[in-house]
Structure formats: C-alpha cells, structure tokens
C-alpha cells in the first residue's frame, strides 16, 4: 500500500510538470478536439442527465460542453466538493451563465455553496453519464486523480445507493496518457478516455 502511494505521488509530480509545459494555445486546441469528439459520441447524445466538471487551468476546458448540454435540453450536474473530506455531490446547474456567479473555492474553481438547496443527482434519479477529470490515465481505464478520492468515493456511493454506476468518460490531454497507473482496491476504472489526436478513444 505504501509503495502504491509513493508511486502515485511520483507520477503526480511528473504529470504536473508535463501539464505546466503545455501552453494556452495547445490546451485550447486539444480541448476543442476532445469537445468535438464528445459532442458526436453516441453515449453523450443518448444521455439526458450529464455530470461535467468545471475545469481547472491544467484540465480540458469544459465551458463549450456545458453550453451544449443546455443547448440540447439535457440536465447539467456539476461537482460540489466538501472540504476536509472525500465527499462530493453532483448538483444541478441552472444555466451556463450561472457559473460566473458561483463562489470560488480554495482551489480557485467555482462550485455551488453548501446548503443552497439544489437538486442532487443521487437523490433525484441518478446520472446517465459522468465526465471525469484527472491528472493521468492509462489504456486499461485506470485513473490518477489529485489524491483526495472524490470521484472514486462518489462512484462507490452511487453503486451502493442505486445498484450500478453511470457510464464514465475521462477527458484528457495527450500528455496525460501514461504507460500504466499504480492502483489500489478503492480505485474505480473509467469506461472510456477521450483524447485529442489520433488515439482518440480508449475503452477497456
């Protein structure tokens, strides 16, 4: 267990360096490519209830995806992380414009405030699709997050409460693809990874 944690930390450091080296033009180019692939994806088109992350600077940009979710009349859910814990809820967003009014967290990303009475996905019918961020991914569907366990814990809770899990698609830069990701028993595999460029879809 300790060796897995050490391996994860080393890989996280390496991936952060790779992402720092990506310039804004390249991030935008890859984000547009990944967005285009997602919007034409059968799973996305068939989904009515979609969870999407509000991206950090070193993640695939998701604003165009959020905009399309509303344009297509789908229900849009975004993460609300609880500080000092690994608990995350997916709560419903009212509109694209609403994002700019949401409070900023200590990670400098916007999320709804605790207790603002939003519809929560697990108690209102679940989700069809969850778009997943991360630092690194491999071709086996393993994901390396930022170490808090929010998505793994959420998907485990989802399974416990609703008896299954929604389809999961990770959105990633080419630089986030790894030869292999060290995992432990709590890590949940992702169904599919969308990347910019030729190796566009990896499903396991």
Residues in CB range of 18: below 8 A, 6 or more apart: 175, 176
- Please give the DSSP secondary-structure letter assigned to residue 104: B
Q: Checking DSSP bridges between strand 136-137 and strand 192-195, what pairing results, if any? A: unpaired
- β-pair partners for 78: 91
Other Cβ atoms less than 10 A from the Cβ of 103: the count is 10
Q: Which residues are annotated as a binding site for ATP?
A: 8-12, 143-151
Q: Which residues are annotated as a binding site?
A: 8-12, 54, 59, 143-151
Other Cβ atoms less than 10 A from the Cβ of 108: the count is 8
CA 108 to centroid of chain Cα atoms: 16
Q: Which residues are annotated as a binding site for substrate?
A: 54, 59
Q: Checking DSSP bridges between strand 167-172 and strand 192-195, what pairing results, if any? A: parallel
């Amino acid at each position: 267990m300790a060796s897995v944690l050490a391996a994860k930390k080393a890989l996280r450091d390496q991936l952060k360096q790779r992402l720092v080296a990506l310039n804004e033009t390249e991030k935008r180019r890859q984000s547009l490519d990944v967005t285009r692939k997602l919007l034409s994806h059968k799973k996305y088109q068939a989904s009515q209830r979609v969870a999407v992350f509000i991206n950090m600077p070193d993640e695939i940009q998701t604003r165009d995806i959020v905009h399309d979710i509303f344009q297509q009349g789908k229900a849009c859910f975004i993460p609300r992380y609880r500080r000092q814990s690994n608990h995350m809820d997916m709560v419903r967003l009212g509109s694209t414009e609403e994002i700019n009014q949401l409070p900023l967290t200590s990670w400098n990303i916007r999320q709804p405030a605790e207790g603002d009475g939003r519809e929560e996905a697990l108690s209102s019918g679940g989700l069809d699709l969850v778009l997943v961020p991360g630092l690194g991914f491999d071709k086996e569907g393993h994901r390396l997050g930022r170490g808090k366990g929010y998505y793994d814990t959420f998907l485990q809770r989802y399974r416990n409460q609703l008896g299954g899990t929604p389809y999961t698609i990770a959105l990633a830069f080419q630089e986030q693809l790894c030869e292999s990701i060290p995992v432990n028993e709590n890590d949940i595999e992702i169904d599919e990874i969308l990347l910019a460029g030729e190796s566009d879809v990896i499903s396991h």
